[in-house]
A and B are shown apart, each in its own frame.
Chain A
Amino acid sequence: MEKPIILDCKNVWKIYGSQASRIHSEHNGNPSSDTLKANGLIGAVRAVNLQIRQGEIFVIMGLSGSGKSTLVRCLSRLVEPTGGEILFEGKDLLTTSEAELIEIRRKKMGMVFQQFALLPHLTVLQNTAFPLEVQGVPRTAREARAREVIELVGLKGREAYYPRQLSGGQQQRVGIARSLAVEPDLWFLDEPFSALDPLIRREMQDEFLRLQNLLHKTIVFITHDFDEAIRLADRIAVMKDGKVVQVATPEELVLNPATDYVEEFTRHVSRSKVLTVGAVMTGGGADIETSGEVGIGQRIEAVADLLEASDMPFRVLDDDGNAVGTIGRQAVIDVLVGRVLKK
Chain B
Amino acid sequence: MNLLRRIFLQKAALFWLPIFAVTWALSAYSFPLYKALGARWIIKYPAQAQLHLEANISAFMQWLVEDASFGLFSFRDLTRFISALIEAPYSFARNALIDGFSVGLGSDAVDVAPSLSWVAVIVTLVAMGHYARDWKLAALMAGCFGYLAIFGQWDSAMVTLASVLIAVPIGAVGGLLLGILAYRMPLFETMIRPVLDLMQTVPVFSYLVPILFLFGFGPVAALVATIIYAMPPMVRVTIVALRGVPSEIHDVGVMVGCTKRQLMWKVIIPSAAPTLMVGVNQVIMLSLNMVIIASMIGAGGLGYDVLTALRRLDIGGGIEAGVAIVVMAIALDRLSQAFATRVPDEVANHTTKNFAQRHPWLVTVVVVAVGTFLLSYIFPAVQDYPKSMTLSTGTFWSDVIGYINVNFFEAFEAVKTVFLTYLLLPVKRFFVGIPWAWGIIVMTLIGWRVGGIGLGLLSGVLTAFIAAVGLWNKAMVTVYLCGVSVLVASAIGIPLGIFAAQNDRANRIIGSFIDTLQTLPSFVYLIPVVMLFRVGDFSAMVAVVLYAMAPAVRYAAHGVRSVDPQLIEAGLVSGCTPRQLLWRIKLPMALPELLLGLNQTILLALSMLVITALVGTRDLGQEVYIALTKANTGQGIVAGLSVAFIAIIADRILSAFATRARTKMGMAT
Question: Which residues of A pack against B, CB within 8 Å?
Answer: 73, 76, 78, 102-107, 109-111, 113-117, 119-122, 130-131, 133-135, 160-162, 165, 178, 182, 188
Taken together as a complex, chains A and B put the C-alpha atoms of A161 and B343 apart, in Å, by 12
20 A-B pairs with CB atoms under 8 Å apart are A73-B251, A78-B254, A102-B259, A104-B257, A105-B254, A106-B257, A107-B257, A114-B248, A115-B248, A117-B246, A117-B251, A119-B252, A119-B267, A120-B270, A120-B271, A121-B271, A130-B266, A133-B266, A160-B347, A160-B349
Q: Are B256 and A130 in contact (CB under 8 A)?
A: yes
**B262 in the interface (beta carbon within 8 A):** yes
**B258 in the interface (beta carbon within 8 A):** yes
Provided the pairs A121-B271, A134-B266 are in contact, do residues A109 and B255 lie with their beta carbons within 8 angstroms?
yes
Q: Of residues A107, A117, A119, A130, which shows the largest number of chain B Cβ atoms within 10 Å of its Cβ? A: A117
Among B248, B257, B346, B349, point to the contact of A134 (Cβ < 8 A).
Answer: B257
Q: Are A134 and B249 in contact (CB under 8 A)?
A: no
Chain B binding surface, main DSSP class: helix
Q: Are A105 and B262 in contact (CB under 8 A)?
A: no
Q: Are A76 and B255 in contact (CB under 8 A)?
A: yes
Q: Are B251 and A78 in contact (CB under 8 A)?
A: yes
Q: Which residue of B lies closest to A188 (CB)?
A: B255
Residues of chain A contacted by B259 (CB below 8 angstroms): 102
Residues of chain B contacted by A110 (CB below 8 angstroms): 255
Q: Are B262 and A134 in contact (CB under 8 A)?
A: yes
**B106 in the interface (beta carbon within 8 A):** no
Q: Are B271 and A106 in contact (CB under 8 A)?
A: no
Q: How far, in Å, is B274 (CB) from chain A's closest CB?
A: 8
Among B248, B258, B270, B349, point to the contact of A117 (Cβ < 8 A).
Answer: B248
Q: How far, in Å, is B345 (CB) from chain A's closest CB?
A: 10
**B344 in the interface (beta carbon within 8 A):** yes
Q: Which residue of B lies closest to A115 (CB)?
A: B248
Q: Which residue of A lies closest to B259 (CB)?
A: A102
Q: Which residue of A lies closest to B256 (CB)?
A: A131
Residues of chain A contacted by B248 (CB below 8 angstroms): 113-117
Q: What would 15 more interface pairs be, CB under 8 Å, given A134-B256, A161-B347? A: A78-B255, A103-B257, A110-B255, A113-B248, A114-B248, A119-B249, A119-B252, A130-B256, A134-B257, A134-B262, A134-B266, A135-B257, A160-B347, A162-B344, A178-B252
Taken together as a complex, chains A and B put the C-alpha atoms of A131 and B251 apart, in Å, by 13
**B273 in the interface (beta carbon within 8 A):** yes
Q: Are A117 and B249 in contact (CB under 8 A)?
A: yes
Taken together as a complex, chains A and B put the C-alpha atoms of A295 and B252 apart, in Å, by 41
Chain A binding surface, main DSSP class: mixed
**B348 in the interface (beta carbon within 8 A):** yes
Taken together as a complex, chains A and B put the C-alpha atoms of A55 and B270 apart, in Å, by 36
What 1/0 flags go to B230-266 for Cβ under 8 Å of A? Answer: 0000000000000000101101101111110010001
Q: Which 9 A-B pairs have the closest CB atoms?
A: A106-B257, A131-B256, A117-B248, A105-B257, A111-B255, A160-B347, A121-B270, A113-B248, A117-B252
What 1/0 flags go to B476-494 for Cβ under 8 Å of A? Answer: 0000000000000000000
Q: Which residue of B lies closest to A131 (CB)?
A: B256
Q: Are B256 and A115 in contact (CB under 8 A)?
A: no
Residues of chain B contacted by A120 (CB below 8 angstroms): 270-271
Taken together as a complex, chains A and B put the C-alpha atoms of A122 and B344 apart, in Å, by 10
Q: Of residues B255, B266, B349, which shows the largest number of chain A Cβ atoms within 10 Å of its Cβ? A: B255
Q: Of residues A73, A110, A121, A188, which shows the largest number of chain B Cβ atoms within 10 Å of its Cβ? A: A121
Among A113, A115, A119, point to the contact of B270 (Cβ < 8 A).
Answer: A119
Residues of chain B contacted by A122 (CB below 8 angstroms): 270
Taken together as a complex, chains A and B put the C-alpha atoms of A110 and B248 apart, in Å, by 14
Taken together as a complex, chains A and B put the C-alpha atoms of A165 and B347 apart, in Å, by 10
Taken together as a complex, chains A and B put the C-alpha atoms of A134 and B270 apart, in Å, by 15
Residues of chain A contacted by B246 (CB below 8 angstroms): 115, 117
Provided the pairs A121-B271, A121-B273 are in contact, do residues A134 and B258 lie with their beta carbons within 8 angstroms?
yes
Taken together as a complex, chains A and B put the C-alpha atoms of A121 and B272 apart, in Å, by 10
Taken together as a complex, chains A and B put the C-alpha atoms of A73 and B251 apart, in Å, by 9
Q: Of residues A76, A119, A162, A182, which shows the largest number of chain B Cβ atoms within 10 Å of its Cβ? A: A119
Taken together as a complex, chains A and B put the C-alpha atoms of A298 and B252 apart, in Å, by 37
Residues of chain B contacted by A78 (CB below 8 angstroms): 251, 254-255
Q: Which residue of B lies closest to A158 (CB)?
A: B347
Q: How far, in Å, is A238 (CB) from chain B's closest CB?
A: 24
Q: Are B348 and A106 in contact (CB under 8 A)?
A: no
Taken together as a complex, chains A and B put the C-alpha atoms of A102 and B347 apart, in Å, by 33
Residues of chain A contacted by B251 (CB below 8 angstroms): 73, 78, 111, 113, 117
Q: How far, in Å, is A164 (CB) from chain B's closest CB?
A: 8
Q: How far, in Å, is A93 (CB) from chain B's closest CB?
A: 13
Residues of chain A contacted by B267 (CB below 8 angstroms): 119
Taken together as a complex, chains A and B put the C-alpha atoms of A121 and B267 apart, in Å, by 9
Q: How far, in Å, is B494 (CB) from chain A's closest CB?
A: 38
Q: Which residue of B lies closest to A114 (CB)?
A: B248
Taken together as a complex, chains A and B put the C-alpha atoms of A121 and B277 apart, in Å, by 14
Q: Are B349 and A106 in contact (CB under 8 A)?
A: no
Residues of chain A contacted by B249 (CB below 8 angstroms): 117, 119
Q: How far, in Å, is B258 (CB) from chain A's closest CB?
A: 5
Residues of chain B contacted by A182 (CB below 8 angstroms): 256
Residues of chain A contacted by B270 (CB below 8 angstroms): 119-122
Q: Which residue of B lies closest to A136 (CB)?
A: B262
Taken together as a complex, chains A and B put the C-alpha atoms of A114 and B254 apart, in Å, by 16
Q: How far, in Å, is A165 (CB) from chain B's closest CB?
A: 8
Taken together as a complex, chains A and B put the C-alpha atoms of A318 and B636 apart, in Å, by 92
Residues of chain B contacted by A76 (CB below 8 angstroms): 255
Q: Are A111 and B252 in contact (CB under 8 A)?
A: yes
Provided the pairs A113-B248, A134-B266, A161-B347 are in contact, do residues A119 and B255 lie with their beta carbons within 8 angstroms?
no
Taken together as a complex, chains A and B put the C-alpha atoms of A73 and B252 apart, in Å, by 12
Q: Which residue of A lies closest to B267 (CB)?
A: A119
Q: Which residue of B lies closest to A181 (CB)?
A: B256
Q: Are B271 and A105 in contact (CB under 8 A)?
A: no
Residues of chain B contacted by A73 (CB below 8 angstroms): 251
What 1/0 flags go to B370-397 for Cβ under 8 Å of A? Answer: 0000000000000000000000000000
Q: How far, in Å, is A307 (CB) from chain B's closest CB?
A: 45
Q: Of residues A76, A102, A161, A165, which shows the largest number of chain B Cβ atoms within 10 Å of its Cβ? A: A102
Residues of chain B contacted by A107 (CB below 8 angstroms): 257
Provided the pairs A113-B252, A119-B249 are in contact, do residues A160 and B348 lie with their beta carbons within 8 angstroms?
yes
Taken together as a complex, chains A and B put the C-alpha atoms of A226 and B460 apart, in Å, by 61
Q: Of residues B251, B256, B273, which shows the largest number of chain A Cβ atoms within 10 Å of its Cβ? A: B256
Taken together as a complex, chains A and B put the C-alpha atoms of A178 and B258 apart, in Å, by 14
Q: Are B347 and A119 in contact (CB under 8 A)?
A: no
Q: Which residue of B lies closest to A160 (CB)?
A: B347
Q: Of residues A110, A134, A182, which shows the largest number of chain B Cβ atoms within 10 Å of its Cβ? A: A134
Q: How far, in Å, is A124 (CB) from chain B's closest CB?
A: 10
Q: How far, in Å, is B264 (CB) from chain A's closest CB?
A: 12
Q: Which residue of A lies closest to B266 (CB)?
A: A134
Interface hits, B170-227 → A, CB 8 Å:
none
Q: How far, in Å, is B250 (CB) from chain A's closest CB?
A: 9
Q: Which residue of A lies closest to B251 (CB)?
A: A78
Taken together as a complex, chains A and B put the C-alpha atoms of A133 and B259 apart, in Å, by 12
Taken together as a complex, chains A and B put the C-alpha atoms of A120 and B249 apart, in Å, by 10
Q: How far, in Å, is A168 (CB) from chain B's closest CB?
A: 14
Taken together as a complex, chains A and B put the C-alpha atoms of A113 and B255 apart, in Å, by 11
Residues of chain B contacted by A133 (CB below 8 angstroms): 266
Q: Are A102 and B257 in contact (CB under 8 A)?
A: yes
Residues of chain A contacted by B266 (CB below 8 angstroms): 130, 133-134
Q: Which residue of A lies closest to B252 (CB)?
A: A117
Q: How far, in Å, is A161 (CB) from chain B's closest CB?
A: 6
Q: Are B252 and A105 in contact (CB under 8 A)?
A: no
Taken together as a complex, chains A and B put the C-alpha atoms of A155 and B344 apart, in Å, by 21
Residues of chain A contacted by B254 (CB below 8 angstroms): 78, 105
Q: Are A121 and B344 in contact (CB under 8 A)?
A: yes
Q: Which residue of B lies closest to A108 (CB)?
A: B257
Q: Which residue of B lies closest to A122 (CB)?
A: B270
Q: Which residue of A lies closest to B350 (CB)?
A: A160
Q: Are B348 and A105 in contact (CB under 8 A)?
A: no
Q: Which residue of A lies closest to B349 (CB)?
A: A160
Residues of chain B contacted by A161 (CB below 8 angstroms): 347
Taken together as a complex, chains A and B put the C-alpha atoms of A31 and B503 apart, in Å, by 60
Taken together as a complex, chains A and B put the C-alpha atoms of A72 and B348 apart, in Å, by 39
Q: Are A105 and B347 in contact (CB under 8 A)?
A: no
